[in-house]
Amino acid sequence: MWNYHTSAWNPVTRGTDSGTCASGAINCFVQGTGIATYSPFAVGPSQPLAVTLASLTAQGGADRITVAWETGSETGNVGFNLYRSADPAGPLTLLAHVPSQAPGSTQGFAYDLRDLAVQPGETWWYTLEDVSLSGATTLHGPVSATVQAPTAVTLAGFEAAADGTASFAGLALAAGLAAAGGLLWRRRRQEAVKS
């Protein structure tokens, strides 16, 4: 049994058992002491190869949610599975598989993925799973974000001339701003559909 603590995998000593702890025995256990914070555990005859995750975030935009993560190292990593769900408890749906930028590297990398299959006001939860060369997996998260509602152009003021007629320049400016905002929103939606 191994415990990932202080940036390294450390062996956890075998505890006392009720009989012999021979191969195939079912009465063996391990006991970890002095572990002050939650950290991953792994079972194996040798030290596991780990992905060290430095950060995992989700950021909502007007028509997307961007999930970003950064690793400190990717020794033995083949890639990541990114899952999403409408609830932090699941169920999880696979959104994408993202290959490692350099499988087996001892250095870290930055990743991001844009989820465009979202609607304004929706909140989504994302869970990241790293996959090792041996097929072992570790889950990270979840993190969440809410899709922002599109912003509309609003008229802050309106001036009238002394004779009570509206300013033509003011009306033209307001109409132009509203049209530009509508075109920008439509273009973003079309790009999201194409993606």
Q: Name the strands in the sheet holding 110-115, side by side, starting at the edge strand that comes first in the sequence.
A: 51-60, 65-74, 110-115
pLDDT, residue 25, reads 56
pLDDT band at 182 (very low <50, low <70, confident <90, very high): low
Tell whether the model's pLDDT for residue 6 goes beyond 50: yes
pLDDT, residue 128, reads 95
Question: Which two tokens mark 55?
Answer: 């950060």
Complete domains list, the chain, with CATH? 1-48 (no CATH), 50-149 (2.60.40.10), 151-195 (no CATH)
Closest C-alpha among 76, 62, 37 to residue 146: 62
Q: What are phi and psi of 168, to 5 degrees?
A: -65, -40
pLDDT band at 90 (very low <50, low <70, confident <90, very high): confident
Pick 44 or 59 by higher pLDDT.
59
Q: Which residue has the tokens 């989504």?
A: 124
